[in-house]
Amino acid sequence: MANSTHDIIRIREMFFQYPHGDFRMHITDMNIARNEKIAVLGPSGCGKSTFLHLLAGIIVPDCGSVLVDDIDIAKFSDARRRDFRNRKIGFIFQQFELIDYLSVLENVLLPLRISRGTRLNLKIKNRALELLEATGLADKYRRRPGQLSHGERQRVAIARAMINNPAILLADEPTGNLDPDNKRHVKNLIFKCTEESQATLIFITHDHDLLEGFDGVIDLQQILQGDCND
């Protein structure tokens, strides 16, 4: 991981603890450079998803700072963090978080529908269709999530995460429930999307076989030392 003026994420003396429970996370110093592809490893309970949620501003640290593109998002209100996230960050959730009553196309466009100041014009809709084409779902854009396979829902989640041309893509175990061939396919698809958009990728995985091609690896268990709770 590079440490330079080109860092897009900088963490300094960040501490977070859930209000109820023993889990805590303390990261003294971390930098992630623009356009890097970073894999995040660690055992269950070590805070991999919490780490992504802190980077996205879904939750905020108790003290210290998480700077994203030189902005300390913890100082924003909930509404401003949500707006910042919709403009700057793509998030592939572990459980996809697709809306059952919306079509595939509507799910892909959802981040822009809830973003202030964004109008869904023809250009944006065409980009959504292009992303569905790239993910092999062009012929299924009218379907609902319940009409898709697990792997197809995964690809909808990828397209939705990329709709806003994010500066950062956060992927929470996007290959966790796939067979080996589909794991490699999804990883390669995410690599392709981030490289085309020149986005920084932070990719959670527990699969060491997928580490080839990443620029760096963060092992949260080593960084947090005694803070992991299996």
Cβ neighbours, 10 Å, residue 142:
10
Complete domains list, the chain, with CATH: 35-44+76-227 (3.40.50.300)
Cβ neighbours, 10 Å, residue 107:
25
Contacting residues for 126 by C-beta, under 8 A, at least 6 apart: none
C-alpha angle 55/60/62, rounded to 5°? 125
Whether 40 shows a pLDDT value over 70: the answer reads yes
d(CA 102, CA 110): 9
Cβ neighbours, 10 Å, residue 229:
14
Question: Tokens representing 99?
Answer: 């809306």
Mean local confidence (pLDDT), 140-156: 92
Tell if the pTM clears 0.85, that is, is over it: yes
pLDDT for residue 117? 60
- 169, 202 Cβ separation under 8 angstroms: yes
Q: What are phi and psi of 170, to 5 degrees?
A: -105, 125
pLDDT in tens, 55-114: 999 999 999 999 999 999 888 999 889 888 888 999 998 888 999 999 999 999 998 887
Whether 3 shows a pLDDT value over 50: the answer reads no
Mean local confidence (pLDDT), 130-146: 93
Between 80 and 21, the higher pLDDT residue: 80
Whether 122 shows a pLDDT value over 90: the answer reads no
Q: What are phi and psi of 9, to 5 degrees?
A: -130, 130
pLDDT in tens, 179-203: 888 888 889 989 998 998 899 999 9
| Percentage of the chain lying above the pLDDT 70 cut | 93
CA dihedral 94, 46, 212, 217 (to 10 degrees): 120
Q: Residue 2's closest CA among 24, 35, 47?
A: 35
Question: Tokens representing 121?
Answer: 């014009």
Contacting residues for 209 by C-beta, under 8 A, at least 6 apart: 180
